[in-house]
Amino acid sequence: QVQLVESGGGLVQAGGSLRLSCVVSGSIFSINVMGWYRQAPGNQRELVATITSGGSTVYADSVKGRFTISRDNANDTVYLQMSILKPEDTGVYCCNAEVATITLKNRYLEVWGQGTLVTVSS
């Protein structure tokens, strides 16, 4: 019923920038927290950043000052602007959202996207 589709990943040199986008579609009633997570090869998935519907944000210490999360509530989209990228930022970046659907308005379900690969070369 609900899909998250990420875009914007790719190959970039260290010090460069990328902007990720994630669009939520389907039978959406409301969206609570949206976020980005990443998983590097051989590592567990880790939080990158989250943003509430009111705009409050949380960042992993490793990306503070370099990444900015934002959202467009009118278009059910969340963004991740990544700057001063480092090789250790390499990984699959997945979008996450807490979504209440039209048929289940009083309960938020956690939905994940398929992910987009970010590769930072040194």
Residue holding tokens 């009111």? 54
What does the alpha-carbon distance between residue 19 and residue 116 come to, in Å, rounded to a whole number?
11
- With a CB cutoff of 8 Å and minimum separation 6, the contacts of 115 are 6, 39, 92, 93, 94, 95
Residue 36 has pLDDT above 90, yes or no: yes
* Residue 1 clears pLDDT 90, i.e. is over it: no
Span 65-101, pLDDT tens digits: 999 999 999 999 999 999 999 999 999 999 999 999 9
**Is it the case that residue 57 has pLDDT exceeding 90?**
yes
Q: How confident is the model at residue 115 (pLDDT cuts 50, 70, 90)?
A: very high
Percent pLDDT > 70 in the chain is: 100
Tell which phi-psi region holds residue 51, choosing left (phi > 0), alpha (psi between -120 and 50) or beta.
beta
Over the chain, what is the mean pLDDT? 97
